[in-house]
A and B are shown apart, each in its own frame.
Chain A
C-alpha cells in the first residue's frame, strides 16, 4: 500500500512538472485544520479531501527583472500561467487515476477571502516559507506563483521546510550591520511603505505587512482600479470630465488588465527585486 501511494505521488508530481510546474509538493488535507479558519479548509471545498497538491512556477523571467522599462514588469507579472497547470493536474488525477480533484479557484469567494490559502498550502507542502517581504519564498527560486488541487487521492505528503528560507544569510548580516534588510529598506512602513520586522538570532521574531496598502500599489490596474474609476465617473457631474475618466490611460489599462489578465496584473515587485533568495535563478547571460 505504501509503495502504491509513493508511486502515485511520483506520477502526480511528474505530471505536474511535465505540464509546466517548476516545483510540486503535497500537503495532507488534515494539516490545514489547525491553521486555516473554518470554511477555508480543503474539506470545506471537497468532501473527503485527503491531499492537496501544490504546483509552483511562472515567476517573472530573468529578462523581465532587468528590463529598464517600468511598465514592462508591471505588465508581465501574472499568475495566469500557473493556473492552467493546476487545472491540468486536476484533470490528470480525475482522468488517469480516477479520484475526485478540485482545482482551487485563484480568485476570491467573498470579500478578500481566498478559497484556500495558497501560501499556507505551499508552506505545508514544503515548497517554501514565509518572508519578511510577504510572499512564500522557495529556497532555490524565491518568489513563485502557486496553484492548488484538492483531491480525495491519498498521497505521500511532503514536510514543511525545517530551516526558513527568509532571512537569507546576507540579510542577517545586513540586519546586524544596519538594522534593516533589503526588502524592509526598500518599502519601510515607517516611511509610507508596507513592511516592517525584526530579526533576532538569525530569525525574524516580528513582521508587519500592510496588506491593504500593498494591494493598492501592487494591483494598480486591476479590479480595484476598475471599481475606483467607475465610482469616480459616477460621482463626476461634468460630462467632459466623465468622458476623460473613462477614456483615460488608467481605465484603459485596467480594462486590458481585466481582459488580458495573462499580461497585466501585478505592478510592484520592489521587495522581491532586492531579495537575495532566487537571485541566482534570476541571473542569466
Chain B
C-alpha cells in the first residue's frame, strides 16, 4: 500500500510557486488588513475590486561576496536582481491560470510624484515577513535581515500569515550597545546629528522613537538612477559652454547615470552602510568559503 498523497493547500501551492521562481521568503496578508494603516487610494481593493489577499515575496539583494568586497563600487552596482518581481509574476500567473482567480502585480512605482501607489514595506510587515527597523525603516526579516519585496493582489481568499510578534529590530546586541553607548550600529553609521539620516531611542529593549531623513537618504542611496539622470541633464542643458557641456556629458557621473537606466537591475542602490553594520541576517552575509 503506497503512502497517500496529501494535496497541498492553496497557501502552500502559491508559496511553492513563488519560492521555486526565486523568492527567498513568501508571506500572505489579508487585503483588508491594509485599511487600518493606509489612506484610500493606496489599499489593495483600490487596485483590484474584490481583493481578498496580498502575497508578498522577498529576495536577497547583494550576495555575501558583494558585502565583503573591498571595492565599494561593487556594492553600488549590484543592489538588485528582480527575483522578487519574477516570483510575484509566477505566482500571479499560477493563481489566474490554475486556480481561476484574479491576480495583479501590486503597483509599487510612482505614477506621479514620489509616493508609491502601494507600500511594499507594509505588505511585507502584514504578511509576517519582518518588522521595521531603525535603519531607514527598512523591513528586516528575522532570519535574513534586509530583503527586497514585491507583492501581488488577488481575489483568492487565502489564510493570512501572522505578523512577526517580536520586533526584529533592535537585535539583542544592539540593545546592549545602546545601553552601553547610547547608540546602535546603524544610528552610529549614519547619525542625523552629524549629517546623516538616522536617529532613534530605545526603551525597554524596543524602539521608542525613530527618525529617518528620507530625502537625504534618497540623495545618497540612489545616486545613480532616474533622479541623477534628470539632475545631470538639467545641468548639461543649462551649460552654455560647449567644452564644459562635453565634459559633463562624458563624465563618470553621467555615464553611470545612463548606465543605471540602461542596466537598472545592476545599478540602483548606492549606500548600504546602515545595513552593512546590522546584526540581523549577518550570518547570511558572512561565513562563506
Chain A contact residues, CB within 8 Å of chain B:
20, 61-64, 66-69, 71-72, 74-76, 81, 230, 233-234, 239, 242-243, 246-247, 249, 251-253, 255-256, 258-260, 262-264, 284-285
Contacts and interface: CB of A to CB of B under 8 A. Distances in A.
Q: Is the interface of A mostly helix, strand, loop or mixed?
A: helix
B102 A285 contact: yes
Is the interface on chain B under 10, 10 to 19, 20 to 34, or 35 or more residues? 35 or more
Contacts of B155: 63, 284-285
Given A62-B103, A76-B107, A256-B109, 4 more contacts: A67-B47, A71-B111, A246-B233, A285-B100
A76 B262 CA distance: 19
Contacts of B109: 75, 256, 260, 263-264
B46 A233 contact: no
A262 B85 contact: yes
Which among B46, B93, B225, B226 has the highest number of chain A CB atoms within 10 Å?
B226
Contacts of A285: 100-102, 155-156
A76 B226 CA distance: 19
Contacts of A258: 261
Nearest to B268: A259
A71 to B, nearest CB: 4
Contact of A63 (B48, B260, B262): B48
Contacts of A230: 233
A284 B156 CA distance: 10
Contacts of A74: 111
Interface of B: 46-49, 82, 85, 89, 92-93, 96, 100-105, 107, 109-113, 117, 153-156, 225-226, 229-230, 233-234, 237-238, 260-262, 264
A246 B234 CA distance: 7
B105 A76 contact: yes
Contacts of B103: 61-63
Contact of B93 (A61, A234, A242, A251): A61
Contacts of A249: 111-113
B104 A243 contact: no
Contact of B102 (A62, A76, A242, A255): A62
A252 B105 CA distance: 21
Contacts of B260: 259
B111 A253 contact: yes
A196 to B, nearest CB: 32
B102 A61 contact: yes
Contact of B230 (A251, A264, A284): A251
14 contacts: A63-B104, A63-B153, A68-B47, A71-B107, A72-B117, A234-B237, A242-B234, A246-B230, A247-B230, A247-B234, A262-B82, A264-B109, A284-B96, A285-B102
Nearest to B102: A63
Nearest to A258: B261
